[in-house]
A = this chain, B = another copy of it.
Amino acid sequence: MSNSASSPPDGAAVSRHRHRVAFFETDAMGVVHHSNYIRHLELARICWLDEHDQPYRVYAEQGLHYATTHLEIDYRRSTGFDDVIEIAAWLDWVRGASMCIDYELTCEGTCVATASSLHAMVNREGRVRRIPKERAENLKGLALRPGPKVL
C-alpha cells in the first residue's frame, strides 16, 4: 500500500459510499467504536466492485471471495451517531491473486481516517486462486500502479 494513503490520488478509479452512523455503532465514549470502521471499508469495497468491476455477489455465486489478508487504518478524528461518513475507495494495485485497496473516510469534508487493505482471492475451501482472467484484466486497467514484485 502507499505510505500516505490520503486523499484519492489523481487518476484513481474512485467510488464513494455514504454511510449514516447508526446508534448501535457508538460506544460508551459517545463515538463510533473503532472496529466499525473496518466494516465501513467493506461497504466501500462492495460499492467499488459494483461500480468498477462486477458485483461481489457474482464472485460469491462463483464460489470466489476476496479474503482480507492485511489491514491498516489511521484514525484521525472521532465520529458520532447520525454523522454521515463518506468512504472513498480506490484500487492501488492488483496481482495474479491479490489486490490492494486504499480508502479515505471523510465527514463533512474533514478526513476522519485513512486505510488500506490487502485481499487474496480464495475459493470456497479458502484456497488461494488466481483472479479470473477477465476480471484481472479489467482490474489491471483500473489500478493506480503496478503491484509489488513480492507480496
Where the two chains meet, the residues of A that have a C-beta atom closer than 8 Å to any C-beta of B are: 22-24, 26-31, 33-35, 38-39, 42-43, 46, 55-57, 60, 65, 67-76, 78, 80-82, 122, 124, 126
Contact = CB atoms under 8 A, between A and B. Distances in A.
Given A23-B42, A42-B35, A69 B60 contact: no
Given A22-B42, A34-B38, A81 B57 contact: yes
Contacts of A28: 23, 26-28, 30-31, 60, 80-81
Copies of the chain in the assembly: 4
Nearest to A50: B82
B29 A27 contact: no
Nearest to A72: B72
Contacts of A33: 23-24
Contacts of A126: 29, 31, 78
A60 B30 CA distance: 11
